[in-house]
């Protein structure tokens, strides 16, 4: 879906706290080659994520299924292009990549595919099942589109047994017609509510971008709306304009503002909140899964016990020395 041009020159100067390291290093190249060899997409690249250097260095990546072309025209999004024919072997290749990387927690997202009868729900379900078959002890998180409000599509995904189901609200109600002209604020909230109705045990997650013209009162109201939908995990990050055709940034929020909003969200009742200028939906997703009891922290030493469960030899991805709390 072609996006409208947005050629104003009102974007404020990018502050120092937005600067990130350039991609590179052994792990980055390992993941890039593995992904390319398998013919897979990652949202890290397709959405121009600012954390790609950090996440790929740590050996983490978020897989994007259903192709690399979207049927929506969200004005903030860096994903563009026409939808491609459904690749029915993609779920198997994603699962093999998860196993090859030895992931404790796999995150899978997608473009929106309104052209498919089920919105791609069956493809999500197959991907979840393939990952579970190859890595039975890995956590599985999916970040899904709204499926055009189809309860049946949502039931299909949930029946496959993901540990976390995410759907991003992205912005405030007032801005939806401008930012997400083919989506609906109440419909997205309803999807999150329905997910909890279908499976109360499933952990739900949502995310917001700041810097599109919202007020602080609107942000707080959106946080409250998301929590009222039963969502347990929230991410908040700074909107960064991915290309000249996308919306301008209206404001760069200071890290202290993100910290204040995190405290507000915690007081609202969220179990986990990630809030900061560079936070994105799957940022520190494995650490969140550990905190929620979905996965266990790796044992001390070089061998990750989950690699045996995946039926794979230790992959050649170097693990940075990060001190993590072992679950009791």
Q: Is the dihedral of CA 313, 104, 323, 56 positive or negative?
A: positive
- The reply to whether 307 falls in a domain is no
- The reply to whether 189 falls in a domain is yes
Q: What is the dihedral of CA 234, 237, 242, 244, to 10 degrees?
A: 120
- The reply to whether 227 falls in a domain is yes
What confidence score (pLDDT) does residue 108 get? 94
Q: How many CB atoms lie within 10 A of CB 81?
A: 13
Q: Which residues of the chain have pLDDT under 50?
A: 1-8, 46-47, 300-328
What confidence score (pLDDT) does residue 284 get? 83
How many angstroms separate the CA atoms of 299 and 314, rounded? Answer: 14
CA 259 to chain centre: 21
- The reply to whether 322 falls in a domain is no
Bridge pairing between strands 203-210 and 272-275: unpaired
Going from the C-alpha of 255 to that of each of 155, 210, 222, 251, 297, the distances in angstroms are 38, 12, 19, 13, 28
* Number of structural domains the chain divides into: 1
What confidence score (pLDDT) does residue 281 get? 85
Mark the binding-site residues for [4Fe-4S] cluster, compressed into ranges: 44, 49, 55, 70, 74, 77, 282
What confidence score (pLDDT) does residue 298 get? 60
What confidence score (pLDDT) does residue 57 get? 52
Q: What is the DSSP string of 204-215?
A: EEEEEEE-SS--
What confidence score (pLDDT) does residue 291 get? 93
How many angstroms separate the CA atoms of 73 and 212, rounded? Answer: 16
How many angstroms separate the CA atoms of 271 and 327, rounded? Answer: 17
- The reply to whether 305 falls in a domain is no
- The reply to whether 253 falls in a domain is yes
- The reply to whether 306 falls in a domain is no
**Does residue 213 contact residue 250 with C-beta atoms inside 8 Å?**
yes
Mark the binding-site residues, compressed into ranges: 44, 49, 55, 70, 74, 77, 282
- Tens digits of residue pLDDT in 132-184: 999 999 999 999 999 999 999 999 999 999 999 999 999 999 999 999 988 99
Instruction: Supply the CATH number for residue 162's domain.
Output: 3.20.20.70
- The reply to whether 4 falls in a domain is no
How many angstroms separate the CA atoms of 165 and 296, rounded? Answer: 19
pTM of the complete model: 0.82
**Does residue 59 contact residue 317 with C-beta atoms inside 8 Å?**
yes
Which domain range does residue 285 map to? 22-299
- Tens digits of residue pLDDT in 5-26: 444 456 788 888 887 665 555 6
Bridge pairing between strands 41-42 and 62-65: antiparallel
What confidence score (pLDDT) does residue 304 get? 41
What confidence score (pLDDT) does residue 243 get? 74
What confidence score (pLDDT) does residue 259 get? 98
């Amino acid at each position: 879906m072609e996006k409208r041009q947005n050629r104003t020159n009102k974007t404020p100067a990018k502050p120092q706290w937005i600067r990130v390291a350039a991609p590179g290093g052994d792990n980055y190249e390992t993941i890039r080659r593995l992904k390319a060899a398998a013919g897979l997409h990652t949202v890290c690249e397709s959405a121009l994520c600012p954390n790609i250097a950090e996440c790929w260095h740590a050996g983490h990546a978020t897989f994007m299924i259903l192709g690399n072309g979207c049927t929506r025209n969200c004005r903030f999004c860096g994903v563009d292009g026409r939808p491609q024919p459904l690749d029915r072997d993609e779920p198997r290749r994603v699962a093999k990549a998860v196993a090859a990387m030895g992931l404790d927690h796999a995150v899978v997202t997608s473009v929106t595919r309104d052209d498919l009868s089920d919105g791609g729900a069956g493809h999500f379900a197959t991907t979840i099942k393939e990952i579970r078959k190859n890595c039975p002890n890995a956590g599985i998180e999916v970040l899904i589109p709204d499926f055009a409000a189809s309860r049946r599509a949502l039931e299909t995904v949930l029946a496959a047994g993901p540990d976390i189901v995410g759907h991003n609200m992205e912005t405030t109600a007032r801005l939806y017609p401008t930012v997400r002209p083919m989506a609906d604020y109440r419909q997205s909230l309803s999807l999150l509510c329905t997910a909890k109705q279908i499976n109360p045990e499933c952990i739900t997650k949502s995310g917001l971008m700041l810097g599109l013209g919202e007020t602080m009162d609107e942000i707080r109201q959106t946080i409250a709306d998301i929590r009222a939908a039963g969502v347990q995990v929230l991410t908040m990050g700074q909107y960064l304009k991915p290309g000249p055709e996308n919306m301008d940034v209206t404001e760069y929020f200071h890290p202290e503002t993100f910290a204040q909003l995190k405290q507000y969200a915690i007081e609202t009742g969220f179990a986990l909140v990630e809030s900061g200028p560079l936070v994105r939906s799957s940022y520190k997703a494995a650490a969140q899964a550990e905190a929620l009891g979905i996965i266990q922290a790796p044992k001390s030493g070089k061998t990750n016990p989950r690699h045996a469960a995946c039926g794979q030899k230790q992959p050649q991805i170097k693990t940075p020395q990060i001190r993590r709390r072992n679950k009791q």
